[in-house]
Amino acid sequence: MNPLVVNNVVKHYADKTAVSGVQFEVGKGEIYGLLGANGAGKTTTMRMILGLIYPDQGEIRYNGKAYNKELLKTIGYLPEERGLYPKIKVSEQLIYLAQLKGMSAKDADRSLKNWLERFEVPENYNKRVEELSKGNQQKIQFISAIIHNPQFIIMDEAFSGLDPVNVELLKATVKELRDNGASIVFSTHRMEHVEELCRNITILHRSKEVIKGNVKEIKSKFPKEKVFLQTKSEVQGLERIAGVKDIHRHENGLEIVIANEKVASEILTHALAQSEIEHFQVKEPTLNEIFIRSVGERNE
Residues contributing to the site for another protein (CB under 8 A):
12-14, 47, 50-54, 56, 69-70, 72-73, 75, 77, 79, 81-86, 88, 92-93, 96-97, 99-102, 144-145
* Residue number with CB closer to another protein (84 or 203): 84
- Minimum CB separation from another protein for residue 290, in Å? 30
- Minimum CB separation from another protein for residue 4, in Å? 15
With H, G, I as helix, E, B as strand and everything else as coil, classify residue 249. Answer: strand
- Minimum CB separation from another protein for residue 30, in Å? 21
Count CB neighbours of 179 within 10 A: 9
- Give kind and range of the element (H or E) at residue 111: helix 105-118
The Cα 289–Cα 243 span in angstroms is 20
* Residue number with CB closer to another protein (13 or 278): 13
Instruction: Give every strand in the sheet of 244-250, ordered side by side.
Output: 244-250, 253-258, 226-231, 277-283
Question: Tell me, what amino acid is at 27?
Answer: G
* Residue number with CB closer to another protein (56 or 284): 56
Q: Are 60 and 152 in contact (CB under 8 A)?
A: no
* Residue number with CB closer to another protein (101 or 193): 101
Q: Are 167 and 159 in contact (CB under 8 A)?
A: yes
* Residue number with CB closer to another protein (91 or 275): 91
With H, G, I as helix, E, B as strand and everything else as coil, classify residue 68. Answer: coil
SS3 annotation, 177-220 = HHHCCCEEEEECCCHHHHHHHCCEEEEEECCEEEEEEEHHHHHH
* Residue number with CB closer to another protein (85 or 222): 85
* Residue number with CB closer to another protein (146 or 238): 146
* Residue number with CB closer to another protein (93 or 187): 93
Question: Tell me, what amino acid is at 77?
Answer: Y
CA of residue 191 relative to chain centroid, distance: 7
Long-range own/partner contacts, residues 42-46 (CB < 8 A, 24 or more apart): 42/156, 42/187, 42/204, 43/80, 43/156, 44/11, 44/18, 44/19, 45/6, 45/9, 45/19, 45/204, 46/154, 46/156, 46/185, 46/187
- Minimum CB separation from another protein for residue 146, in Å? 12
Read off φ and ψ for residue 295, nearest 5 degrees.
Answer: -85, -45
- Minimum CB separation from another protein for residue 55, in Å? 9
- Minimum CB separation from another protein for residue 229, in Å? 48
The Cα 294–Cα 273 span in angstroms is 38
- Minimum CB separation from another protein for residue 2, in Å? 21
- Minimum CB separation from another protein for residue 77, in Å? 4
